[in-house]
Amino acid sequence: MTRTLRTNFGVFAACATAAISVHYPAYAQPSGSDEIVVTATRRNTALQEVPVAVTPVTAEMVRNSGIRDLHDLTNVAPSLQFNISENETSATARIRGIGTQGSNPGLESAVGVFVDGVYRARNGVALTDLGEISQIEVLRGPQGTLFGRNTSAGLITVATAAPALDDFGAAAEALVGAFGERRLAGHITGPIVQDELGVRLFASVSQRDGFVDVIGPTGATSDANNRDLWSLRGQVLWAPTGGRFDWRLIADYTERDELCCAGVFYDPAVVNGASGEGYAASAPAVALASIGGFGPGGIAALGPSGLSDRTSFANRDATQELRDGGVSSEMNWETSLGLLTWIAGYRDWDFIQGQDIDFTAADLLYRAPGDGGFGFQIHSQEVRLTGRNGPLDWLVGGYYANEHLTRRDTLRIGTQYGEYFTALGVATGNLTVIGAAPVLATTEGGGQRDRYRQESQSIALFSHNILALGDRTDFTFGIRFTDEEKDMSALRGTVGALPAPLSAFPWHNGALDGVSSFSRSEAEWSGLVALRQEMSENLAAYLSFSRGYKGGGFNLDRQAGVPEFDAETVESWELGAKTTWMDGDLLLNAALFSSDYENFQLNRFTGITFIVNSIPAVSSEGAEVDVIWRMPLTGLSMQGGLAYADAQYGSNTGWAVGGLAALPGQRLTNSPLWTITNALTYEWPLGSSLAGLAHLDFRYVDEQNTGSDLSPSKVQPSYVLINGRLGIATADERYAFEIWGRNLLDEDYAQVMFDAPLQFLRPVVPVDGLRGAFLGDPRTYGVTLRARY
């Protein structure tokens, strides 16, 4: 693997040095805030004129804040949360506290992601190098009327930089940083036919060592949570003279080969300061230590809390391989009826992994490389016609998507599986466990062999209209009808099935084996009405009501009974104000919102398996403030925001049984009450030949519970993340040199906390063990050199 990676890096180095580029800033010429245009209504509209809560992220902000993928958007978008757990595909986006947890591909996303107008199937599918960006928009609240299902909490739209039709341009970016990080990226663009036909080629390669030390059975260490990816994107833009027609074709491909994501153990009592130094000697921890689960160092190897040590344990390979490619086409044609837009896309995405499931150095449960994974093949078509008749700005359209999903999940029993249960029986005095140990010892290499296949088709018709009721009043109304069908088949098998009580472990439960198939269809509607009133040239207010939904489906994991779950629906009210001050230099916007969800889809980990529950009622209420300010000091600008989101489970307790008992009336997982972001950028001339850049951004995140069961031991206290950048460039923008740092305070924080596998075994064995956590990135720093032609 190392030889291949070095070769790839060398090839891309040669290509980028030849002539490739990323966005380059004009340090001394910041753009005005009055120039911000968004596409939230599928039309190019000034930010202050849309009755939607939007956070725009410009190309300059992407560069200054070091945003490389969707996860990094949280630096500048306070209402957006992004968490990653057991693998990169488990990335979960939340807006206003609402999102879809975990990596189960059977669940759709509550926060939709669109790249150049094409929907990405899941949040994790879209987590890749963004490349050159024209603009990103984070739309808050249900957006189903124009963007379809699976935008019940909001959406993220990404517009990549288009080919140039007038002049040739090229540039390169080279980055070197902590943890052995290195990145090379860039583009070349220009016309083939002057002012009519242009092309653009982007390429990047990134490598970095891991953030987590992994201790093996012999005490040897390696690292995990590394980065190793390369990406290509090619584009063609045809815009014949006359300005009535343009066509854009985009093809892209990405490969990632990484070790992610290592969970660290921690003792809740120690983290909460209740038990002094050292780990609580829980029975599972003692049993694991006795068979080398924490390496030669025993329990002492765990450290005082685990969260700051960034130490994990493994004896199996956790390599992950991701292949993502696709083609999209967008045509815009100004006809006599109106503007006709056609967008077609095809995506082929595949992910395979190995995994040390127990996160210990003992050989208990694992997936060999290639045993786990899933893939998507998605074809989509969208047609829109937009026009204006008198006071009515109208839009009608249709959408079709076909999705083919496969999942493979082979779980194998390791060589120390029976030994662990023997040790656990001794530690607990539970003779049932000791009696089962000889049986368990014979199941080595056994486990589950499951395969899932799902086909879905979605068809939608929609309309979105803006009626001018005089010079200062607009009434927006729209509706979307969606018909969707899903067919799922499962082939499940068990090698080494065992009787009760151990059949409570799904990989021992032969009753779940066999071939099964399920089908479901749903017809749902989404809609929007909004009234916008301009009080003056500098003040507009709006009131809106919207309905959205997230598709139902099937739990593609081992679960007794019918694995089907219903569609999730939402009804949301929003009252907003958009104000402009200081001759357009200051934009100050605010919104109040209240959203009620029915059949909220909760994917939770029990310490043994994943279960999907439909929660009858969930609500999200709160307020948001956004600020974009070009300050009086020339070259100084600010973009910030504040979000207060109280996302809660319903107080009715009829549904709260078993692992759901703690949920009624409580805030949702990974849902902080307060989040604040602020970014300051200062650009100034340094004599006649140079320019300088200083950028600082921070994000404050309030206390939140990161566990799906809301156990008090899984609370992450509030924390602050600070990023910074200093740069110097030539006045002609030919060269730039920057130093940067991320998480400058080196905050240790957990994205997700969970019950460590095989340490919380109720009802099989009445014991509790250590918790696990997936951590955020530590402090990193480095330098970047940019060159532009």
Domain ranges across the chain: 2-788
Q: Higher pLDDT residue, 104 or 630?
A: 630
Which pLDDT score, from 0 to 100, does residue 125 have? 66
The fold for domain 2-788 equals Maltoporin; Chain A (2.40.170)
Amino acid identity of residue 729, one-letter, is A
Instruction: Answer yes or no: is pLDDT of 430 > 80.
Output: no
Instruction: Answer yes or no: is pLDDT of 10 > 60.
Output: no
> What pTM does this model have?
0.92
Q: Which of the residue ranges 96-105, 263-272, 363-372, 579-588 has the most confident prediction, judged by mean pLDDT?
A: 579-588
Beta bridge partners of 698: 678, 722
Percentages (nearest 5) of helix, strand, coil residues in the chain: 15, 55, 35
CA–CA dist 774, 749 (Å, integer): 9
Instruction: Please count the CA atoms within 13 angstroms of the CA of 661 that sit on its side-chain side.
Output: 4
Q: Note the pLDDT tens digit of each residue in 605-655.
A: 776 777 888 999 999 999 999 999 999 999 999 999 999 999 999 998 778
334-348, 442-456, 629-643: the lowest-pLDDT one: 442-456
Which pLDDT score, from 0 to 100, does residue 164 have? 96
Q: Residue 721, exposed/middle/buried by CB under 10 A (0-12, 13-18, 19+)?
A: buried
Instruction: Answer yes or no: is pLDDT of 758 > 50.
Output: yes
Instruction: Please count the CA atoms within 13 angstroms of the CA of 631 that sit on its side-chain side.
Output: 13
Please say whether the beta carbons of 707 and 756 come within 8 A. Answer: no
- Residue % of the chain over a pLDDT of 70: 89
pLDDT confidence band for 277 (50 / 70 / 90): very low
Taking residues 83-104, report their average pLDDT. Answer: 84
Taking residues 548-569, report their average pLDDT. Answer: 90
Amino acid identity of residue 605, one-letter, is F
Mean pLDDT computed over every residue of the chain: 88
Which pLDDT score, from 0 to 100, does residue 656 have? 78
Which pLDDT score, from 0 to 100, does residue 437 have? 64
- Residue % of the chain over a pLDDT of 90: 66
Instruction: Answer yes or no: is pLDDT of 332 > 90.
Output: yes
For 111, 310, 332, 477, the CA distances from 720, given in Å and listed in that order, are 24, 19, 44, 40
111-125, 152-166, 616-630: the lowest-pLDDT one: 111-125
Instruction: Answer yes or no: is pLDDT of 500 > 70.
Output: no
Q: Higher pLDDT residue, 713 or 653?
A: 713
Cα–Cα nearest to 752, from 136, 104, 262, 309: 262
Which secondary-structure segment (H or E) carries 249?
Answer: strand 245-259
664 CB-near residues (< 8 Å, 6+ apart): 649, 650, 651, 652, 653, 656
Which pLDDT score, from 0 to 100, does residue 243 have? 82
Which pLDDT score, from 0 to 100, does residue 553 have? 94
60-74, 244-258, 717-731: the lowest-pLDDT one: 60-74
